[in-house]
Amino acid sequence: MTRILVIGDTHTQRWDEVPEDLRALVRAADIAIHCGDWVGMDTVEGFRREARQAVVVHGNSDPVELRKALPYREILEVDGVRIGVTHPAWGTIEPELHELLPDFPAGEFGDLDVLAYGHIHVPLSEVAHGVHFINGGQAYPSFRVPGTVGWIETSPGGPGSRGTFLAWTEEFAPAR
């Protein structure tokens, strides 16, 4: 079994501004995914330094230097489970789930099992259009909004079959 942390929307200049509870989750996960909106390169570097394995993309709030340094989308396969990662930098409003799929054409990327994304600051774990969509929500607590994350647990499938997974969201810090 592989435990994958899904976060995004940290919106910090420095890694040490990220809540310690969240940094501990990054260190504990087998793989840590950040779905964009970092704001500062120090945050990216700290995330990469502390994660056992880091998967990162840029977001719509990231400055030009981060957008040039980080990909818009990533894809990984863990235990036979295909996971796409993005932050809809093309949108300003909350996208409909089906609007995220064209960023991962099946002919180029194969079929996705899970699509992890940032941007909406609302935790979401939902199946639609044959894909499990997961958004970790807001990676910091604020006034009346808790800090939240997503998790994906994968297990390998049998010979010649795809792996299985569970996905969910949870609070890591209460609202202030």
User: Which residues, listed in sequence order, are joined to residue 168 by a DSSP beta bridge?
Assistant: 151
What's residue 31's pLDDT?
Answer: 98
Identify whether the C-beta of residue 74 lies closer than 8 Å to the C-beta of residue 56. yes
Identify whether the C-beta of residue 124 lies closer than 8 Å to the C-beta of residue 95. no
What's residue 158's pLDDT?
Answer: 78
Q: For 3-20, what is the mean pLDDT?
A: 96
Q: Does the pLDDT value for residue 89 go beyond 80?
A: no
What's residue 8's pLDDT?
Answer: 94
Cα separation, 164 vs 173, whole angstroms: 29
Spell out the domains of the chain, with CATH numbers in brackets: 2-173 (3.60.21.10)
Q: Where are the alpha helices (DSSP H) in the chain?
A: 20-28, 41-50, 64-69, 106-109
* Cβ neighbours for 173, distance < 8 A, ≥ 6 positions apart: 19, 21, 22, 140, 141, 146, 147
Query: pLDDT tens digit string along 112-164?
Result: 999 999 999 999 999 999 999 999 999 999 988 999 999 999 999 877 788 99
Q: Take residue 102 and report the two structure tokens written for it.
A: 């064209």
Phi-psi region of 11 (alpha: psi -120 to 50; beta: other; left: phi over 0): left
Query: pLDDT tens digit string along 42-78?
Result: 999 999 999 999 999 999 999 999 999 999 999 999 9
User: Where is average pLDDT lowest: 1-5, 20-24, 35-39, 89-93?
Assistant: 89-93
Query: pLDDT tens digit string along 18-38?
Result: 999 999 999 999 999 999 999
Nearest CA to 46 out of 72, 23, 62 is that of 23
Q: Does the pLDDT value for residue 91 go beyond 70?
A: no
Cα distances (Å, whole numbers) of residue 161 to 98, 113, 156, 157, 164: 26, 13, 9, 5, 9
Which residue is it, tokens 């800090």? 147
What's residue 163's pLDDT?
Answer: 94
What's residue 171's pLDDT?
Answer: 96
